[in-house]
């Protein structure tokens, strides 16, 4: 039989710790090995007890859950952090994930869901409460759309060269218009195509139209 999952509970509310302990102790494959009243105690007990999973509240006096998570993951990367909190804010979610947390569960979740989350995180996987997972996906999609819409910033000279290339001017004609050497135009063109991720003049024309870079005829 495999060793039980060793769990440390960090929460400043006695009734929460007691309830979670009672819940987890009913599972034969999970063992609660300690309780911490705040983030500093969580760090100290993590070092002393080396749990597989630390259930971490966020809002605690002194060293909070975010600071404790950073310290534990920096010193003991094999200890998995499962956030158990009342906070649904995107800010808390992203900060805890960046700090190294492997899971995020809202207090008030179904008991079976918390138990499942402990097992998932103990295996080195990620568990996110459904509404939290939805927020994460939406944030990712929003950033992806924003990156696609904005694209890399171009300088006034770069925009000018893009416009001339898209309008069909040759490299020599562009050099004459801008009063620069032909090699300078080649260099600008090469760097622009790489910067914009384009491979042909046709793609560059489409890009210029989408961005409104083409000059008035």
The pLDDT assigned to 136 comes to 60
CA-based radius of gyration for the chain: 27
Q: What is the pLDDT of residue 171?
A: 86
When pLDDT is averaged across residues 112-139 and rounded to a whole number, the result is 81
pLDDT tens readout for residues 43-70: 999 999 999 999 999 999 999 999 999 9
Residue 138 has pLDDT above 50, yes or no: yes
With bands split at pLDDT 50, 70 and 90, how would you rate the model's confidence at 131? Answer: low
- For residue 217, pLDDT beyond 50: no
What is the DSSP annotation of 129-185?
Answer: -HHHHHHHHHHHHHHHHHHHHH-S---HHHHHHHHHHHTT--HHHHHHHHT--HHHH
**What is this structure's pTM?**
0.63
* pLDDT for residue 75: 95
- Domains of the chain, start order: 5-142 (3.40.50.2300), 151-211 (1.10.10.10)
The mean pLDDT value of the chain amounts to 85
Residue 135's pLDDT is 59
CA angle, 205 as apex, 213 and 149 as ends, to 5°?
60
Q: Return the percent helix, strand and coil in the chain, to nearest 5.
A: 55, 15, 30
Element (H, E) at 18: helix 14-24
- pLDDT for the residue numbered 129: 74
């Amino acid at each position: 039989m495999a060793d039980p999952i060793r769990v440390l509970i960090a929460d400043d509310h006695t009734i929460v710790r007691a309830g979670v302990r009672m819940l987890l102790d009913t599972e034969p494959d999970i063992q609660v090995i300690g309780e911490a009243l705040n983030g500093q105690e969580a760090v100290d007990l993590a070092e002393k007890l080396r749990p597989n999973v630390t259930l971490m509240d966020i809002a605690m006096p002194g060293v909070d859950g975010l600071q404790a998570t950073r310290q534990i993951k920096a010193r003991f990367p094999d200890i998995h952090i499962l956030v158990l909190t009342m906070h649904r804010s995107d800010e808390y979610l992203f900060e805890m994930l960046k700090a190294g947390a492997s899971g995020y569960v809202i207090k008030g979740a179904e008991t079976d869901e918390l138990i499942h989350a402990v097992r998932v995180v103990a295996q080195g996987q990620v568990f996110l409460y459904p509404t939290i997972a939805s927020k994460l996906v939406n944030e990712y999609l929003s950033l992806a759309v924003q990156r696609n819409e904005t694209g890399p910033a171009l300088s006034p000279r770069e925009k000018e060269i893009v416009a001339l290339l898209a309008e069909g001017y040759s490299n020599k004609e562009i050099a004459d218009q801008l009063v620069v050497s032909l090699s300078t135009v080649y260099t600008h063109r090469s760097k622009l195509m790489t910067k914009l991720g384009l491979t042909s003049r046709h793609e560059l024309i489409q890009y210029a139209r989408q961005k409104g870079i083409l000059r008035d005829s």
